[in-house]
Structure 1
Amino acid sequence: MKVLQVVGYKDAGKTTLVSEIVRELSSRGLLVGTVKHNAHDHEPDIPGTDTWKHREAGAHATAMVSETRTLWRREVSTPLPDLIAAMQSADMNAVIVEGFKQSSYPKLVLLRGDEDVELLKLPGVMAAVMQQSATEAESMAQRAGIPVFRTDNRQFDSILRFVADWCMM
């Protein structure tokens, strides 16, 4: 199973790129799981729904099951390696992780500009993705042997080919 992180600062385009990667890999017949880091503890359950009412009443774990899916939620943080292991036991071919910058899985770093150049020093960087030119970042990536992909005008073809080729190895 391949694990790929997509990291960057707020508004760098992480969720957009993750969605494009999932779409591409799924279209190639891979089973793809995702894990998203939530630094702000946002509420993912809609207030007023039954599962929200269960949690509000004090349930530490809540499951919702239908004919086609299961949602399992626990009121505890789970380490990324445990989530990856669960995805592997669920027979995923690939897991795309959004965030968790300090983890050492292979990663794409999304750079908004030269101000994000320090992201190139993270462990496991396999490529940099930029929406616009950033001279210092591109130069630093080149010196480190890190390929740089541009996504001007939401053109993702080259980075998606790169990721798909890597996942299919």
Structure 2
Amino acid sequence: MGQDACKQPLIYCICGEKNSGKTTLVTKLIPLLAGRGCLVATVKHDGHDFEPDVPGTDSFRHRKAGAYGTAVFSDHRFLVTKECEGITEQELFLHFPEADIILVEGLKHSSYPKYVCGYPEKEADAAKIAEEILRLLEEKRRPCDKGDK
């Protein structure tokens, strides 16, 4: 991929059936991981199509008028929407090179490490899952740290 393996973020998936607690768990994990000094990004996989913009905004109107892509930006953030076929999660990960961890909501059939939500039968322990993610991050970085000495 060209990016130094030591600098690539850890990818960790939160999976499960609809209404199994995925989003709730992700929103609990983010502050736990960020509180430990990690820069966390998220990628949400949607198995269906979704409305990429808020109705009534200028960019929504641009897209509805026929633009295949739109971008909105300020001094501190940007949002890009683009119609394209065959996008993969790896392409999206490239937009977060500075992240320590990328939490992916979905991709249950991927080979990435994951937690499978099972709410309400099985309540997720966010603190325990955060510790597992941090352990995996440390494990991923360990060979890189040895090279720095």
Output aligned runs, 1:57-136, within 5 Å.
Answer: 57-77=65-85, 78-88=87-97, 91-112=98-119, 130-131=122-123
In 2: Cα distance, 1:24 partner to 1:51 partner? 34
Counterpart residue type for residue 93 of structure 1:
D
CA displacement, residues 120-167 of structure 1 (integer Å, 9 cap, x when unaligned): xxxxxxxxxx22xxxxxxxxxxxxxxxxxxx3xxx5322222223333
Q: Percent identity?
A: 38
Whether contact under 8 Å (1:4, 1:105) holds in the other structure is yes
Equivalent residue for 1:15?
23
In 2: Cα distance, 1:29 partner to 1:113 partner? 31
SS in 2 for 1:111: coil
In 1: Cα distance, 2:56 partner to 2:120 partner? 41
In 2: Cα distance, 1:69 partner to 1:113 partner? 36
Shift of 1:113: 7.0
In 2: Cα distance, 1:166 partner to 1:65 partner? 34
Output aligned runs, 1:144-155, within 5 Å.
Answer: 151=124
In 2: Cα distance, 1:51 partner to 1:113 partner? 38
Equivalent residue for 2:56?
48
Structure 1 ranges of 4+ moved more than 6 A: none
SS in 1 for 2:91: helix
Equivalent residue for 1:161?
131
Whether contact under 8 Å (2:41, 2:103) holds in the other structure is yes
Using the size of structure 1 for normalisation, the TM-score is 0.69
Q: Which moved more, 1:63-72 or 1:42-51?
A: 42-51
Structure 2 unmatched ranges of 5 or more: 1-8, 140-149
CA displacement, residues 52-93 of structure 1 (integer Å, 9 cap, x when unaligned): 0010011111110111111111112521121123323xx111
Whether contact under 8 Å (2:32, 2:127) holds in the other structure is no
SS in 2 for 1:38: coil
SS in 2 for 1:73: strand
The total of aligned residue pairs comes to 130
CA RMSD of aligned residues (A): 1.9
SS in 1 for 2:20: coil
Higher relative contact order (CA 8 A, sep 6+): 2
* Structure (1 or 2) with the greater strand fraction: 1
Whether contact under 8 Å (2:68, 2:82) holds in the other structure is yes
In 1: Cα distance, 2:68 partner to 2:108 partner? 28
